[in-house]
């Protein structure tokens, strides 16, 4: 029986992590997501489930703690915001290369640089196009509600261990800070040592139990042939993610002439835009990617048969819009609208842009 | 008094000819071969085998662990 | 007596531990890495803890330590090994966890991770190989390079006014309450090798006391980086490195040794 609470996005994430059977959280304070570690420290999950919570000396240290824990077959996670995620990118690349399951939350704030503490969505490229070095891809989930902040933790761990890959939850300062009703799932027990040995004895480094061959966690392949093999192995995972774990939502698209593509906060705000637009007689719908990678490319291409134009709405200067354009192969017009630097666009502003750039354009 | 006789066996293909074993030996047993191994290194060998007491100094200082040591107590 | 009478299995008193793999070491001839790896694996074998030990390899020449040490190992980003080890220690407190790091890894890029793992008193062993130079990348200056010592980035000798003095990381972290034991050793001659092995054994055993981090520095040669033969490099080490990086116990059972 799920528990109903009124919670802040960041806190719901933290509580959900405990309930998802996480073994460890390693993090560092940064606005607007410090509530995650504060909530965990106050909750003392060590007493509830044995989950370990460590405040690391930096985001760099935290992501490397995640790497160490993930390599042992443990469910571990970290959280940060934009500048802190930049610090983690080396570690994220290593997680991807070493094929480690882990969950990373980015509560995006305005940037670049130290930026602002207000919400933004300007880390799309960082999350989806790499950010860290090398041929890798993150599975990216974009919550648009406090409920999804909670639900996505368990989902993220499932994906991470299904593929042995790091998963990024790309939230933003609005979702992280707002309070909404949330149904919290029942406690999933943490894996026992025996369960970990059974499930992960072929790769995890928990000690050469029963004299098995040693396991090595590494992303190094000095022989290029081996490195190419490794990269192909990673790519095969990403292809499978696209085939099996794509998620998106459609709102009022059945009869739509125009659609807004938006995720996270922008998708929530755009729902009001749809209301306003339809009141004016425009048939507008929303395609909300829930996973940013995999991206709903096929669905977007299908929609070019029905829809006359797309407005990509994102709290930045235009990042996801490129992926929308690629998906529709220029069959229909695609434009971007977004406020940035921590300013949040209003439903009316979005409607104005839709009318100016797409409907009348 | 019992005499101790020792002997070492060097994995000549793995020896890298670093010679760190030579000063380690208290009785000057070890020399470097005139021949080279498959990698082109001169390898360590017992040049003065009678002097070996099997003390293992050479083996414990060898960076590549290529030396095995044998020791026998002789009663005279 | 004939040599072949001596060389019989019943007479064997020393052979390389099974916990070193059969892979040929990628290290240069004469390098202290090989010796130190072997001592650590001998200790793990003698303590019977191969099934409970996890090591963290650095970036540097010993990035490939996992090819040679036959225990579960993780390869860490440069300098980050103590962070990986921290998580292992917290998540699996009954396991033996060690990091194996060079001078760039531990005292340059990893300074924060080193200090904070020491400060938190993680129940791990840190083995710090100090050869005063960056071997893997071709012989550049390290934080522990001696004043006046030449390297590829200090071709006229380390100049303190622009490059700073060498850092004695070992003394620095020994002041932290979270550190239980600190000692400095060498492996270039048998008498030092025996002491180093004892220290490694004690460090592994002491992590069970859960009284804090056990730190061992091994001052080693780098004949390639120093551009000498292995034997000459060990002489140079005795004459130059050891007077500066003094061997011996620095902290025992949580107490600094007064000198």
Calculated CA dihedral for residues B28, B29, B34, B35, nearest 10 degrees:
-150
Taking an 8 Å cut-off on Cβ atoms, the answer to whether A91 and C80 are in contact is: yes
Instruction: Name the 3-class secondary structure at B71.
Output: strand
Instruction: Name the 3-class secondary structure at B57.
Output: helix
Query: d(Cα C198, Cα C123) in Å, to the nearest integer?
Result: 18
End-to-end CA distance of chain B: 7
Query: d(Cα A213, Cα A198) in Å, to the nearest integer?
Result: 15
Tokens 């001696």 sit on residue: C146
Domain ranges in chain C are 29-256
Which of C5, C23, C29 is the mutation pick for testing B, counting most B CBs within 10 A? C29
Cross-chain CB nearest to C7 (options B7, B59, B61) = B7
Contacts of A156 (CB under 8 A, 6+ apart): A77, A103, A139, A141, A167, A169
Closest by CA to A94, choosing from C56, C25, B67, C1, is C56
How is the beta sheet containing A102-108 ordered, strand by strand? A52-55, A24-27, A76-80, A102-108, A166-172, A139-141, A291-293
Q: Which fold has domain C29-256?
A: Rossmann fold (3.40.50)
- Alpha-carbon C41 to chain mean position: 13
The neighbours of chain A, by the rule of 3 or more Cβ pairs under 8 Å, are C
* DSSP one-letter code for C112: H
Options 1.10.3720.10, 3.90.950.10, 3.30.70.20, 3.40.640.10; CATH of B3-74: 3.30.70.20
Tokens 């101790």 sit on residue: B4
In chain C, which among 184-213 make CB contacts under 8 A with chain A?
Answer: none
Taking an 8 Å cut-off on Cβ atoms, the answer to whether B5 and C33 are in contact is: no
End-to-end CA distance of chain A: 51
How is the beta sheet containing B3-10 ordered, strand by strand? B3-10, B67-74, C12-14
Instruction: Name the 3-class secondary structure at C248.
Output: strand
Which of C83, C118, C136 is the mutation pick for testing A, counting most A CBs within 10 A? C83
Confidence (pLDDT) at A210: 87
Both tokens of B75, joined, read 């009663």
Options 3.30.1230.10, 3.40.50.970, 3.50.50.60, 3.10.20.30; CATH of A3-184: 3.40.50.970
Confidence (pLDDT) at B1: 58
Query: d(Cα A97, Cα C67) in Å, to the nearest integer?
Result: 18
Q: Does B21 touch chain C (CB under 8 A)?
A: no
B to A contact (≥3 Cβ pairs closer than 8 Å): no
Taking an 8 Å cut-off on Cβ atoms, the answer to whether A23 and C80 are in contact is: no
Taking an 8 Å cut-off on Cβ atoms, the answer to whether A98 and C75 are in contact is: yes
* Top-confidence residue, B1 or C103: C103
pLDDT at C3 over 90: no
**Cβ neighbours of B74 in C, within 8 Å:** 1
H or E element, residue B45 = strand B42-46
ipTM for the complex? 0.95
Radius of gyration of chain B (CA): 13
Q: How far is C91 from chain B (nearest CA, A)?
A: 34
CA atoms lying within 13 Å on the CB side of residue A249? 14
Confidence (pLDDT) at A211: 85
B to C contact (≥3 Cβ pairs closer than 8 Å): yes
Query: d(Cα A206, Cα A185) in Å, to the nearest integer?
Result: 29
Classify residue C212 as exposed, middle or buried by CB count within 10 Å of its CB (0-12, 13-18, 19+): buried
Confidence (pLDDT) at A1: 63
pLDDT at B2 over 90: no
For A248-359, CATH number?
Answer: 3.40.50.920
Closest by CA to A218, choosing from C81, C125, C97, is C81
**Residues A7-37: b if buried by 16+ CB within 10 A, e if exposed:** bbbbbbbbbbbbbbbbbbbbbbebebbbbbb
Q: Does C224 touch chain B (CB under 8 A)?
A: no
Q: How far is C99 from chain B (nearest CA, A)?
A: 20
Chain B, chain C: beta-carbon pairs less than 8 Å apart: 100
Q: Does B12 touch chain C (CB under 8 A)?
A: no
DSSP collapsed to 3 states, chain A: CCEEEEEEHHHHHHHHHHHCCCCEEEECCCCCCHHHHHHHHHHCHHHHCCCEEEECCCHHHHHHHHHHHHCCCCCEEEEECHHHHHHHHHHHHHHHHHCCCEEEEEEEECCCCCCCCCECCCCHHHHHCCCCCCCCCCEEECCCCHHHHHHHHHHHHHHHHHHCCEEEEEEEHHHHHCEEEEEECCCCCCCCHHHHHHHHCCCCCCCCHHHCCCCEECCCCCCHHHHHHHHHHHHHHHHHHHHHCCCEEEECCCCCCEEEECCHHHHHHHHHHHHHHHHCCCCEEEEEECEEECCCHHHHHHHCCCCCEEEEECCCCCCHHHHHHHHHCCCCCEEEECCCCCCCCCHHHHHHHHHHHHHCC
- Please determine whether the domains at A3-184 and A248-359 fall in the same fold group of CATH: yes
List average pLDDT for each run of 10 residues in chain A, which is 361 residues long.
92 98 97 96 97 97 98 98 97 98 97 94 96 96 98 98 98 97 98 96 95 95 94 97 98 98 98 98 98 98 98 98 97 97 96 95 57
Instruction: Name the 3-class secondary structure at C100.
Output: strand
Contacts of A349 (CB under 8 A, 6+ apart): A337, A339
Q: Does C46 touch chain B (CB under 8 A)?
A: no
Q: pLDDT (tens digit, 9 = 90+) per residue, C137-155?
A: 999 999 999 999 999 999 9
Helices marked H in chain C — which ranges? 3-6, 32-47, 65-68, 81-91, 103-104, 111-120, 160-163, 169-174, 190-206, 223-226, 230-236, 242-244
Split at pLDDT 50, 70, 90, the class of B6 is: very high
Closest chain C residue to B64, measured at CA: C34
Domain ranges in chain A are 3-184, 248-359
Domain ranges in chain B are 3-74
Kind of pairing, strands A284-289 and A258-261? parallel
H or E element, residue B60 = helix B57-61
Taking an 8 Å cut-off on Cβ atoms, the answer to whether A206 and C77 are in contact is: no
Taking an 8 Å cut-off on Cβ atoms, the answer to whether C74 and A218 are in contact is: yes
Closest by CA to C84, choosing from C61, C54, C104, C119, is C54
Query: d(Cα B21, Cα C29) in Å, to the nearest integer?
Result: 12
Q: Does B32 touch chain C (CB under 8 A)?
A: no
Query: d(Cα A356, Cα A302) in Å, to the nearest integer?
Result: 24
Taking an 8 Å cut-off on Cβ atoms, the answer to whether C74 and A216 are in contact is: yes
Query: d(Cα A246, Cα C207) in Å, to the nearest integer?
Result: 46
Under 8 Å between Cβ of C114 and C169: yes
The pLDDT of C209-234, averaged and rounded, is 97
Taking an 8 Å cut-off on Cβ atoms, the answer to whether C73 and A216 are in contact is: yes
Under 8 Å between Cβ of A60 and A30: no
Under 8 Å between Cβ of A9 and A148: no
- Alpha-carbon A239 to chain mean position: 18
């Amino acid at each position: 029986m799920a528990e109903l609470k009124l919670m802040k996005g960041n806190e719901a994430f933290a509580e959900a992590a405990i309930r998802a059977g996480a073994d460890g959280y390693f993090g560092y304070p940064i606005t607007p997501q410090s509530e995650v570690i504060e909530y965990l420290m106050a909750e003392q999950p060590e007493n509830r489930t044995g989950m370990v919570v460590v405040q690391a000396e930096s985001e760099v240290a935290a992501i490397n703690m995640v790497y160490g824990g993930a390599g042992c077959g443990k469910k571990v996670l970290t959280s940060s915001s934009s500048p802190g995620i930049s610090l983690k990118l080396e570690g994220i690349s290593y997680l991807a290369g070493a094929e480690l399951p882990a969950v990373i939350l980015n509560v995006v704030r305005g940037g670049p640089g130290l930026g602002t503490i207000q919400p933004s969505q300007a880390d799309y490229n960082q999350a989806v196009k790499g950010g860290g070095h090398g041929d890798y891809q993150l599975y990216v989930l974009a919550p648009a509600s406090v409920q999804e902040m909670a639900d996505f933790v368990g989902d993220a761990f499932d994906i991470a261990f299904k593929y042995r890959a790091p998963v990024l939850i790309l939230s933003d300062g609005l979702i992280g800070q707002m309070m909404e009703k949330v149904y919290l799932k029942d406690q999933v027990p943490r894996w026992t040592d025996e369960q970990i040995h059974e499930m992960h004895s072929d790769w995890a480094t928990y000690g050469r139990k029963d004299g098995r061959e040693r396991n090595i966690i590494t992303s190094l392949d000095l022989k290029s042939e081996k490195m190419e093999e490794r990269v192909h192995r990673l790519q095969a995972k990403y292809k499978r993610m696209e085939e099996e774990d794509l998620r998106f939502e459609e709102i009022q698209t059945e009869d739509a002439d125009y659609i807004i593509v938006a995720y996270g906060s922008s998708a929530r705000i755009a729902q009001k835009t749809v209301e306003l637009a339809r009141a004016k007689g425009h048939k507008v719908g929303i395609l909300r990617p829930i996973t940013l990678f995999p991206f709903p490319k096929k669905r977007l291409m299908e929609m070019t048969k029905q829809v006359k134009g797309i407005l990509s709405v994102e709290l930045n200067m235009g990042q996801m819009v490129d992926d929308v354009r690629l998906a529709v192969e220029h069959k229909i017009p695609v434009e971007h609208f977004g406020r940035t630097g921590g300013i949040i666009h209003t439903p009316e502003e979005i409607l104005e842009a839709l009318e100016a750039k797409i409907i009348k354009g | 008094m019992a005499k101790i006789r020792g002997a070492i066996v060097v994995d000549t293909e793995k020896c890298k000819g670093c010679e760190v074993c030579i000063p380690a030996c208290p009785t000057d047993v070890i020399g470097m071969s005139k021949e080279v191994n498959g990698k082109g290194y001169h390898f360590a060998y017992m040049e003065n085998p009678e002097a070996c007491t099997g003390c293992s100094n050479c083996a414990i200082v060898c960076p590549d662990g290529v030396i095995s040591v044998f020791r026998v107590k002789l009663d005279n | 007596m004939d040599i072949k009478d001596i060389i019989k299995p019943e007479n064997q008193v020393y052979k390389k531990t099974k916990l070193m793999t059969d892979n040929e070491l990628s290290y240069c001839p004469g390098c202290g890495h090989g010796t130190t790896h072997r001592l650590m694996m001998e200790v793990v074998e003698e303590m019977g803890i191969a099934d409970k030990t996890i090591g963290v390899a650095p970036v540097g020449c010993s990035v490939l330590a996992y090819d040679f040490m036959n225990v579960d190992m993780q390869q860490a980003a440069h300098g980050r090994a103590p962070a990986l080890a921290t998580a292992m220690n917290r998540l699996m407190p009954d396991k033996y966890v060690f990091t194996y790091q060079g001078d760039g890894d531990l005292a340059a890029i990893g300074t924060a991770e080193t200090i904070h793992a020491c400060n938190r008193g993680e129940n791990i062993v840190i083995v710090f190989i100090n050869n005063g130079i960056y071997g893997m990348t071709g012989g550049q200056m390290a934080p522990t390079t001696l004043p006046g010592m030449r390297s590829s980035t200090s071709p006229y000798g380390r100049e303190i006014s622009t490059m700073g003095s060498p850092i004695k990381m070992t003394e620095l972290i020994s002041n932290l309450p979270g550190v239980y034991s600190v000692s400095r050793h060498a492996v270039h001659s048998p008498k030092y090798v025996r002491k180093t092995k004892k220290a490694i054994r004690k460090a592994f055993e002491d992590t069970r006391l859960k009284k804090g981090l056990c730190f061992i520095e091994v001052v080693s040669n780098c004949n390639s980086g120093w551009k000498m033969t292995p034997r000459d490099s060990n002489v140079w080490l005795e004459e130059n490195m050891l007077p500066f990086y003094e061997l011996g116990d620095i902290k025992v059972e949580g107490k600094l040794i007064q000198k």
